[in-house]
């Protein structure tokens, strides 16, 4: 009996034949993941609120010859989540991967603030955007994944979840909600193993269009000084980690937190 020769094929990173839903896929990290997944063979559904931004990404993917679907929906609302899931099944007939990117530290309906000044509505909206959305989307796709033998869920957290980071005021609730996403990831992984793998990416300082438009030069300089590799992350850096976790290359990874932060 001969001993198998160790080896590795890049084909293990392929998502050929898979169908992925990417929430928040119309901009920033979500857009990068949508492109990355499509480039390695997946059919992608982009879920986001603004139709015009969805259409712009769909045009980019179409220009590269990729098949994708866009659904305008609020994924903090169960009805919106169901619309995304049903549209994906109607178009592609299956769901193999979910990436919960929707989230943020402020938005059109809520704002940052130090704890004593924060309205309850803003606190709850931050929680809904960052945590409830991930819970609702995951809960909706798991039965369909199990019908086909399994699937992968990737939740998006942040380095801000691991400790209180004080350079910018008003980020306490953001850090709390992202820590909740990490705990939710472990709960999902434990409850849904072995057929559903659930992991979490803790993103560092990623230079998204939103950040470029809103961050002051002084704040950006402080952020850059924290990064040991000497540059900001790009959405493609997070997409590479997501491809690993979603593909057969990451098939032995479950309930894990993958820090992608340049050594912050």
Rounded CA-CA distance 178/69 in Å is 28
Please check whether residue 258 is in contact with residue 200, taking contact to mean a CB–CB distance below 8 angstroms. yes
Q: What is the pLDDT of residue 165?
A: 53
- Dig out the tokens for 210 from the structure: 């939103």
Please check whether residue 159 is in contact with residue 261, taking contact to mean a CB–CB distance below 8 angstroms. yes
Please check whether residue 2 is in contact with residue 14, taking contact to mean a CB–CB distance below 8 angstroms. no
To the nearest whole percent, how much of the chain has pLDDT over 90?
76
SS3 sequence, 193-204?
Answer: CCCEEEEEEEEC
Is the pLDDT assigned to residue 169 strictly greater than 80?
Answer: no
Task: Dump the DSSP string for 129-189.
Answer: IIIIHHHHHHHHHHHHHHHTT-EEEEEEEEGGGTS---SSTT-HHHHHHHHHHHHHHHHHH
**Active-site residue list:** 174
Kindly indicate the confidence band of residue 216, based on its pLDDT and cuts at 50, 70 and 90: confident
Q: How many helices (H) and strands (E) does the chain have?
A: 9, 7
Topology, domain 13-259: Rossmann fold (3.40.50)
Is the pLDDT assigned to residue 5 strictly greater than 70?
Answer: yes
Please check whether residue 109 is in contact with residue 49, taking contact to mean a CB–CB distance below 8 angstroms. no
Q: Name beta bridge partners: 26.
A: none
Mean pLDDT of the chain: 92
- Dig out the tokens for 89 from the structure: 């099944």
Q: Name beta bridge partners: 60.
A: none
Q: What is the pLDDT of residue 167?
A: 46
Is the pLDDT assigned to residue 194 strictly greater than 90?
Answer: yes
To the nearest whole percent, how much of the chain has pLDDT over 70?
95
Mean pLDDT of 184-209: 96
> Tens of pLDDT along 39-65?
999 999 999 999 999 999 999 999 999
Domain positions in the chain are 13-259
Rounded CA-CA distance 127/114 in Å is 15
Q: Is 208 helix (H, G, I), strand (E, B) or coil?
A: coil
Kindly indicate the confidence band of residue 92, based on its pLDDT and cuts at 50, 70 and 90: very high
């Amino acid at each position: 009996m001969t001993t198998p020769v160790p080896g590795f094929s890049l084909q293990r990173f392929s998502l050929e034949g898979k169908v992925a839903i990417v929430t928040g896929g119309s901009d920033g990290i979500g857009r990068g993941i949508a492109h990355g997944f499509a480039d390695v063979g997946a059919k992608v559904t982009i879920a986001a609120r603004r139709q015009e931004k969805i259409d712009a990404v769909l045009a980019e993917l179409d220009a590269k010859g990729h098949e994708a679907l866009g659904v305008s929906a609020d994924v903090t609302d169960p009805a919106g989540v169901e619309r995304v899931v049903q549209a994906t099944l109607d178009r592609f007939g299956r769901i193999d991967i979910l990436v919960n990117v929707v989230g943020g530290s402020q938005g059109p309906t809520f704002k940052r603030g130090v704890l004593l000044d924060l309205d309850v509505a803003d606190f709850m909206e931050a929680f809904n955007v960052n945590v409830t959305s991930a819970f609702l989307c995951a809960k909706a796709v798991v039965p369909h994944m199990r019908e086909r033998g399994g699937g992968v869920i990737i939740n998006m957290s942040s380095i801000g979840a691991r400790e209180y980071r004080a350079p910018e005021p008003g980020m306490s609730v953001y850090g709390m909600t992202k820590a909740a996403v990490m705990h939710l990831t472990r709960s999902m992984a434990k409850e849904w193993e072995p057929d559903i793998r659930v992991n979490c990416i803790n993103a560092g300082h990623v230079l998204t269009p939103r950040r470029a438009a809103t961050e002051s030069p002084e704040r950006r300089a402080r952020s850059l000084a924290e990064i040991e590799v000497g540059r900001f992350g790009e959405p493609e850096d997070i997409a590479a980690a997501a491809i690993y976790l979603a593909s057969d290359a990451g098939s032995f990874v479950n309930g894990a937190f993958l820090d992608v932060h340049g050594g912050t």
